[in-house]
Chains A and B, each alone.
Chain A
Amino acid sequence: MTIEEIINLVQGEILCGDERVKEEVACVFASDLMSDVLTLKDNDGLMLLTGLCNLQSIRTCEMSDINYILIVRGKEVTDDMLELAEDNDMVIIRTKYSMFKTSGILYAAGLPPVY
């Protein structure tokens, strides 16, 4: 499923990486616990769905080679988060929907989980 399709499904907005909306997302991991994200092994095409909106969520994705992040509940993404994401060629989407609703929509639309 492309980033563009995901944005439409969750009524989202793209905050960073808008030139990459045609890229394909292969699977999703939803977590606010970065320690858990750091245990993932193969993150090719993975999108992180998270309500944790701070510099460490971006840093965690940087270390884990995760390029796509979907922030839920419309949380504020700061300039230093965007700068770090841009430095690492990441795509950041934000939706007003909750973690549960966003997960349900994406799962029902066919995006598989990691486990």
Chain B
Amino acid sequence: MNFTYHVEGGDFTNAGSTSSQVKRMLKKIGVSPEIVKKTVVALYEAEVNIVAHAYRGDIFVNLEDDHVTIVLSDEGPGIPDIEKAMQKGFSTASPKVREMGFGAGMGLPNIKNNSDNLNIKSEVGKGTTIEFTNYFFAQ
């Protein structure tokens, strides 16, 4: 099954609404609470990143019998140095993002910690695509 959601940059009121819908869906089909939590924590961090840094983005969710793959593709400034962005504490977040309780340079490392496979591609001036997969059972 495939699902697509749209996210607007700067829309903090709705930040997390996609993660909320995906959480309900994963719970409904009987995915274990541990895997649901780790998946939606990774998704929520990535969704907040689109709201915080990009102009707009789309989230594609591909749900299979034993895993879920989530792709978040945004139009935005891109990440010049992904390795640096993956370091704990590195952040380019605005004061507004920090007021929301984010922007401490913990998002990308936390996405990595909560995903089984993570792939980040970015082009400066165009945007960023994050893809991660989580398996429902031990591999």
Task: Please list the residues of chain A having a beta carbon within 8 angstroms of any beta carbon in chain B.
Answer: 32-39, 43, 52, 54-57, 59-60, 62-65, 80
- A-side contacts of B113, CB under 8 Å: 39
CB within 8 A of B110: which of A39, A56, A59?
A39
Task: Please list the residues of chain B having a beta carbon within 8 angstroms of any beta carbon in chain A.
Answer: 12-13, 15-16, 19-20, 23, 33, 37, 40-41, 44-45, 48, 99-104, 106-107, 110, 113
Instruction: Verify A38–B45 contact, CB threshold 8 A.
Output: yes
Q: Given A38-B110, A59-B20, does the pair A33, B41 have CB atoms closer than 8 Å?
A: no
- B-side contacts of A38, CB under 8 Å: 41, 44-45, 106, 110
- A-side contacts of B15, CB under 8 Å: 55-56, 59
Closest 9 CB pairs of A and B: A34-B101, A59-B16, A35-B106, A63-B44, A35-B104, A56-B100, A52-B101, A63-B40, A38-B41
> Which residue in chain A gives the minimum CB-CB distance to B51?
A56
Instruction: Verify B106–A65 contact, CB threshold 8 A.
Output: no
**Bound Cα distance A54, B41 (Å):** 18
**Bound Cα distance A62, B18 (Å):** 12
Instruction: Verify A62–B20 contact, CB threshold 8 A.
Output: yes
- A-side contacts of B44, CB under 8 Å: 38, 59-60, 63
Q: Given A55-B12, A56-B12, does the pair A63, B19 have CB atoms closer than 8 Å?
A: yes
- A-side contacts of B37, CB under 8 Å: 43, 63-65
**Bound Cα distance A54, B100 (Å):** 7
- A-side contacts of B16, CB under 8 Å: 55-56, 59, 62-63
- A-side contacts of B110, CB under 8 Å: 35, 38-39
CB within 8 A of A57: which of B33, B40, B101, B103?
B101
